[in-house]
Amino acid sequence: MEEVLKRYYKGETTLAEERELRSAWQRGELPGEPILGLRDPMEIPEGLNEKLQRYIRQKRQRKIRQLWITAGSIAAMAVLILSFRGTFTTTPRPGIQLSDNLKKERFENALRVLGNALEDEKTPVQRVLYEDHNLIIAIE
């Protein structure tokens, strides 16, 4: 029997030999071998299932809460980045883009027309002296 026990602890026994060892232990022939006891399953303490279920629920809620926090943080960062992008970038105004020389030339023409009109006599009727897209110079 001791040879079978040595092989049992080395993991070299067959299932039949293990059954024989277990039945010998149950008959009391091997009282000093606690490993062979293999008790029946113990009862679950009262309330343990509820505690485990509550713990699992809390873990799930924490995970969901963490996902919401992460999603909210990402959304806040996106809003922040887009607002800074909109603040610091300049958008070109729609309409005709004129070069600086052309702007200067048109301004000088408008001043020349205005100067000529001021040198003339005053008339009681309004006259349009110069009109260019968004600029109208008129004298009453």
**pLDDT band, residue 71 (cuts 50/70/90):** very high
Asked whether residue 39 carries a pLDDT value surpassing 70, the answer given is: no
- Are 135 and 105 within one domain? yes
Long-range contacts of 79-85 (CB under 8 A, 24+ apart): none
For residue 85, the tally of other CB atoms under 10 A from its CB is 9
- Are 54 and 24 within one domain? no
**pLDDT band, residue 126 (cuts 50/70/90):** low
Domain membership flag for residue 128 = yes
More confident residue, 136 or 16: 16
Asked whether residue 93 carries a pLDDT value surpassing 70, the answer given is: no
Residue with tokens 């992008």: 85
Domain containing 83: what range? Answer: 48-87
Longest dimension (CA), the chain: 139
Q: For residue 17, what are the CA distances in angstroms to 2, 7, 13, 46, 95? A: 12, 10, 6, 38, 98
- Quote the number of domains for the chain: 3
What is the predicted pLDDT for the residue at 73? 95
